[in-house]
Structures are given as C-alpha cells and as structure tokens.
A and B are shown apart, each in its own frame.
Chain A
C-alpha cells in the first residue's frame, strides 16, 4: 500500500493543472495559468475536413501532450514519458514508479471513466489525471476536473488507459523525476508568449490562428443556406462545445491566458503586458457573449437579430481583438 502526500488542487485545464500539481509535489510552486502560458497552450484551428461527433473539428488549444512537454523543457525539468503496447506491462511499470515515490500523470479516455461527470462521458482520449497511490487493487486518483480525490479499480484504470479510437493514449504515462528547486521563469515565459503569438498571427495558413477565426466566421454565414437550420445549429453548437465545455475554464482558454499575462507582467516587470492582459480579458468576455447568443440559437429561442450573420460579425470582432493583442505580444523581448 502506497499513498503519497499529494495535494489535490482543482484546475480549469486538465493538462496544465496536472503539470502544476505534479511540480507542486516536487516543491516547485508554479500556478496553472503560468504553466499554460509557458507551454504555449493557446491556439485556434478550424478543420472542416475532420469530423468529431458528426461536426467539423474546432480546437482552441494545441495538441494534447504539448503543454507538458514544452513547459517542463523550458523550465529545465527532467521528465520521463512512456507509451506501452501491453496493458499489463504498463500497470506494472506504474506500480514500480509509484513505489519509487513519484506521482504519475496518465493520459486516459473519458468514455469509461467511472468517476467522471456523466454529461461529459463521450469519446475523448486526451484527458489527463494523476495517480498518487495504491491500496490493494484500488488506485488513488487526483483528477483536476473533480472537486475531491477519487479512486478507481485496477481493471477500470487499465481500460481507460488503453481506450481506443482517435488519439488513443496507448497507456501514456509521464512524470518529472528531477526538479530544480530554483527556476528562472523569465526566459521561459518570454519564449512561451512568443510561440503563442507566432502561432496565432504569423503562420501563413488560413485555417489556424486569427485567420482561422475569420475563416470560420465566413463559413458560418453560409451554414443556414448550405446545411439547413437543423444541421447549422448543430455545427454552431459544436463550436460552442469546444469553446465552453470541460477543461477550457471558460471562453476557449482565453480567460486562463489573460490570467497568465496578468501574472507574467508582475514576474517580468513589464507594465505594458498588464495592459495587454486587460485587452485579452475583454476579448475573452466577448467570446463569452458570443457563446451566450449562440446558445440561444441552438435552443431555437433566438431573436431575429441573433442570426448567423450577427454571430459571424461577433467572431470577426473577436478575431480583431485577438489580432491586436498578439501583434503586440509578438514583439516581446
């Protein structure tokens, strides 16, 4: 029986929350927004050729796994990341690492996760959680989505670790094993901000960054004619689900990123970033407004002026606001 002295803290975004909690166990206190910012987690992409839950894929963040990799690399933390072919091997390895006294982060699928809120139990294979102990056949779990610590049985854990489908986790487990006690956050933060800003405004590809938001807005105007009301409403709902659903902490990570800029201004001692963080907060509130009006449309309670044209206009405004923010941030030194 092993039970590590792991502090469970609820978080908005599962991966940066898990990373922050793991580092906190190793006596390095870095908040969740800072991890998210250093890992350059903010992103936007609209990929109409990929379908998820019967609607085009809209993503507000980078590929899963990247936040942990980038953040720990930038902070000079030594980590171990493993994938497995054989489920039993992966469980043995997990026990071994726990016995060494390291809490372990796991990538799991949410469809069969017993303690997960039932309204979210769809096929989503990129969820992250921490195992911090074992009692006989019961594993002790800290999941940043749930308020308290939870437990899971051996068989259930094996099943969710080897969930199949797109982005199958294949038992992916990761843990930091050597954490320096003093870390200089400044260069990491600057690098993270530059990476995000670059992704959002500098990449010459129409489907990602602020260009992607504008592309989505232009497509949205055509949805009611092209798809019919029923399908258009579902497509719109899909955008809102990706924006507001679990693990975004509201407004498609825009709030969490604003909080990061706010903290970064204090750490870097650069006042202009504080002003930018205010703009980011306003952009985030605009996204919230967009999802409020959009959801009325999904419920078919929309007033005539809350049409797709108006929603597309709002998206364009969001894109303008974000472009202004990231044009400033891209010049950071």
Chain B
C-alpha cells in the first residue's frame, strides 16, 4: 500500500516522533514488488502511539503511588525507562525476587548505598535523585 508523501498526520502526540523516512517494500496488482522510501502510514503510527500511551499512563500511575507512599521510587524510575521487573533485574544486576521486595518502601528504606548505586546506574541518575524523590 502507498505511504503518505508528507508527514502531516497528527497521530503522534510528541512532536519529535515520525520525522524519519524509512524504506518499505510493497506489492502491486501487476505482480511487481517495489521499494518506496517514505513515512510510516497511519495504522502503524496508531499502534505505536498506543504503546507510548500505555507507558505514559503507567509512569503517571507509578508517580502517584510513590507520592502516596505505597511504592518505592524504584517503581517510578523503572516505568520511566520502560522496563519491566525482569528487565530491571538484568539491567541493575539485582536478583528478581529482591527487585520485587525493593518495590515496597519498607525494604527500599533499608537499602545500602551499594545497592542504590546499582539501581541509579541502571536508571542513569544519581543516588541522591533516587533517594530524594521530588517529581
């Protein structure tokens, strides 16, 4: 199917999205395969935006939980880097069941600086930022 010539469709909520042209293969009625360079067409953008919506919703939800004191800042930063608990355990080098424990503020408060540094490196922030959650 054809790809739109110009990127004018406001599917993406973020303005930086959808500015790159890619190569697509296509097939027409005459039985020829062709190549076109163009932007993603609307259906593809819709599903991609759906995914970003989910990530943003989850981050916002986690933020509310942290502010309410029912979750540790690790949950928020994990959602912010689009990771899941298993992915985070691989990124930070902390075992999966420990990561699950550290989601609770009770265990988070007892974390050593060494472990906090591991998490901070995975989130690409400083330990202070992780300790003093202000967002």
Which one, B35, B48, B84, B90, contacts A119 given CB within 8 A? B48
Q: Is the CB of A244 within 8 A of B47?
A: yes
Q: Is the CB of B18 within 8 A of A285?
A: no
What's the minimum C-beta distance from B80 to chain A, rounded to whole angstroms? Answer: 12
Chain A residues with CB below 8 A from B40, complex form: 244
What's the minimum C-beta distance from A309 to chain B, rounded to whole angstroms? Answer: 20
In the complex, B83 has a CB within 8 A of chain A: yes
In the complex, A292 has a CB within 8 A of chain B: yes
Complex interface bits, A103-126 against B, C-beta within 8 A gives 1, otherwise 0: 000000001000001111011000
Q: Is the CB of B19 within 8 A of A10?
A: no
Cα–Cα, bound, A90→B105 (Å)? 39
Q: Is the CB of A240 within 8 A of B25?
A: no
Q: Is the CB of B19 within 8 A of A117?
A: yes
In the complex, B107 has a CB within 8 A of chain A: no
Cα–Cα, bound, A123→B83 (Å)? 7
> Using a Cβ–Cβ cut-off of 8 Å, how many residues does chain A contribute to the interface with B?
52
Q: Is the CB of B90 within 8 A of A166?
A: yes
Which one, B21, B47, B82, B84, contacts A111 given CB within 8 A? B82
Q: Is the CB of B33 within 8 A of A258?
A: yes
Interface residue stretch chosen among B49-57, B66-74, B96-104, B126-134 = B49-57
Complex interface bits, A287-305 against B, C-beta within 8 A gives 1, otherwise 0: 0100110111011000000
Q: Is the CB of B44 within 8 A of A119?
A: no
In the complex, B37 has a CB within 8 A of chain A: yes
CB-CB under 8 A for A12 and B25, given A111-B81, A119-B12, A281-B33: yes
Cα–Cα, bound, A118→B49 (Å)? 12
Cα–Cα, bound, A123→B52 (Å)? 13
Q: Is the CB of A165 within 8 A of B24?
A: no
In the complex, B22 has a CB within 8 A of chain A: yes
In the complex, A278 has a CB within 8 A of chain B: yes
Residue of A nearest to B49 (CB): A119
In the complex, A149 has a CB within 8 A of chain B: no
Q: Is the CB of B37 within 8 A of A295?
A: no
Chain A residues with CB below 8 A from B8, complex form: none
Q: Is the CB of B23 within 8 A of A237?
A: no
What's the minimum C-beta distance from A18 to chain B, rounded to whole angstroms? Answer: 13
Which one, B14, B16, B47, contacts A240 given CB within 8 A? B47
Interface size class for chain B?
A: 35 or more
Q: Is the CB of A278 within 8 A of B91?
A: no
Cα–Cα, bound, A282→B44 (Å)? 20
Chain A interface, >50% SS class: helix
Residue of A nearest to B20 (CB): A117
Q: Is the CB of A237 within 8 A of B50?
A: yes
In the complex, A241 has a CB within 8 A of chain B: yes
Chain B residues with CB below 8 A from A118, complex form: 14, 16-17
Chain A residues with CB below 8 A from B14, complex form: 118-119
What's the minimum C-beta distance from A116 to chain B, rounded to whole angstroms? Answer: 9
In the complex, B111 has a CB within 8 A of chain A: no
Given contacts A122-B51, A244-B40, A256-B25, 20 further A-B contacts (CB under 8 A): A10-B22, A12-B25, A53-B84, A111-B82, A119-B16, A119-B18, A120-B48, A145-B20, A166-B87, A241-B48, A245-B48, A249-B23, A255-B24, A255-B25, A255-B26, A277-B33, A284-B27, A295-B46, A298-B46, A298-B50
A-B residue pairs in contact (CB < 8 Å), sample of 12: A118-B17, A119-B14, A119-B48, A120-B48, A237-B47, A240-B43, A245-B47, A250-B25, A255-B27, A295-B42, A298-B50, A299-B50
Q: Which 6 A-B pairs have the closest CB atoms?
A: A295-B43, A281-B27, A255-B25, A259-B33, A119-B17, A117-B20
